[in-house]
Amino acid sequence: MKPEIKNLAKDLIRFIDASPTAFHATENIESTLKKNGFLQLAEDVSWKIKKGGKYFVKRNDSSIIAFVIGSKSPTQSGFHIAGAHTDSPLLKIKTETENCAAGIIRVATETYGGPLINTWFDRNLGIAGKVMVKTSKGYSVKLLKIDKPIAVIPSLAIHLNREANKGFEFNPQNHLQAVISTDPKDKEVLKAIIAKELKIKKENIGEMDIFFYDLEKGKLCGSEEELISSGRVDNLQMCHSILEALLSIGKNEKTAVAAFYDNEEIGSKTLMGADSNFMRSILERITLLLATGKDDFYRAISKSFLISADGAHAQHPNFPEKHDPGYVPKLNKGPVIKLSATFRYATTAESSAYFVQLCEKNNVPFQKMANRSDVPSGSTIGPLSSATLGIKAVDVGNAMWAMHSVRETAGTLDHWYMTQTLISFFRE
């Protein structure tokens, strides 16, 4: 494998390790954009944009949309959009629940998204998220990332539950409380830990959106380092690919747009999710500012195209029967085009044909995926973005095992393939 392929995968792992939550993914994307000459625009001020200009807009510090204005107007060339999600399944900390049981201080959690819960037991857990800090002038926002093993959710020994290996049903209220201290006299342990980390007084901690995350760093593995083993591959892998592709743009005719949305794992219907007006408001605003006619926006939209990029289930060698034999995506065999008769994915024959051409042009192999007809399919930001914006879209992604496990596995080569394809899409 060429060194540049491994280096891209190593860069992805660095990005994932630095991004335990959607807030951190957004912050890391933002700092990379700024280093590459992108200017931040706020939604509540008047915008001045120019052809060739590079910009980004944020919502809730957890979603970010970046764009490079092309030399042709959007009515002539449309928008080329690639989108992914910044959030991953996590355990959200219920900050008001600190309690003592059996002499042990615990804090309760609520599952965010659909994690494979059994993979979260017996892990070294750090704490990360967004904290509102009280100041003399109101609140200031601080991102929190305690990269130390603060907590653990211990599993129950096999001797105390002999049936455990036949499957154990967890009660999220009772069994997902995390241990944060073994001294029953401790008070406000969570706040003390956070105050120390942020170097502020305990009483100045205001509201918080904070999560536990697994501290283990990502690694390349396999005899040829052909596998990427990490948490949050779904979907920081696609965020990384899209960001790389956006940064590769030089002089471009078409306006390229990269969307990194929060809240896909819980249905996207939030202020900053893909099922909000975030994208539409940005596209409309760009078109209006460059407009020559009243129907410019609608003309631009009808010429646009969206690639929705998210993880795809690779066939599992120990459970091969879980896939339709006609659709068996493999690791390191190229991007996967996702198909669904009920449009759980946005792909149509037309949009799929476009993506196939893109792969062929770049000598990138591609694969297809459709669920077994007796298994309901997952979904992505694709169908709702396509429907609410009125933009043709294709759903694609890289093959992976153990989606939503605390540790997922993907292919080193696939990350390269997808990135090359997206670079070509933006540069077209």
Residues forming contacts to Co ion in the complex (CB under 5 A) are 234-235, 310
For the CB of residue 309, give the shortest distance to Co ion in the complex, in Å. 9
Q: Which is nearer to Co ion, 69 or 239 (CB)?
A: 239
Q: Quick one: 196 exposed, middle or buried, by C-beta within 10 A (0-12, 13-18, 19+)?
A: exposed
* C-alpha closest to that of 409 among 312, 270, 274, 321: 312
For the CB of residue 229, give the shortest distance to Co ion in the complex, in Å. 17
Q: Which is nearer to Co ion, 234 or 244 (CB)?
A: 234
Q: Which is nearer to Co ion, 25 or 131 (CB)?
A: 25
Q: Which is nearer to Co ion, 235 or 386 (CB)?
A: 235
Count CB neighbours of 159 within 10 A: 7
For the CB of residue 264, give the shortest distance to Co ion in the complex, in Å. 6
For the CB of residue 47, give the shortest distance to Co ion in the complex, in Å. 31
What region, left, alpha or beta, does residue 388 occupy, with left being phi > 0 and alpha being psi -120 to 50 degrees? Answer: alpha
DSSP state, residue 315: P
Q: Which is nearer to Co ion, 153 or 402 (CB)?
A: 402
Is residue 124 within 8 Å of 153, Cβ to Cβ?
no
Alpha-carbon distances, residue 177 vs 12, 18, 148, 312, 388 (angstroms): 31, 25, 18, 31, 39
The dihedrals phi and psi of 395, each to the nearest 5 degrees, come to: -100, 125
Asked if omega into 171 is within 30° of 0 (cis), the reply is no
CA 270 to chain centre: 15
Three-state DSSP at 239 gives helix
Q: Which is nearer to Co ion, 28 or 308 (CB)?
A: 308
For the CB of residue 249, give the shortest distance to Co ion in the complex, in Å. 25
Q: Which is nearer to Co ion, 310 or 414 (CB)?
A: 310
Angle at 289 between CA 285 and CA 294, to 5 degrees: 85
CA 222 to chain centre: 25
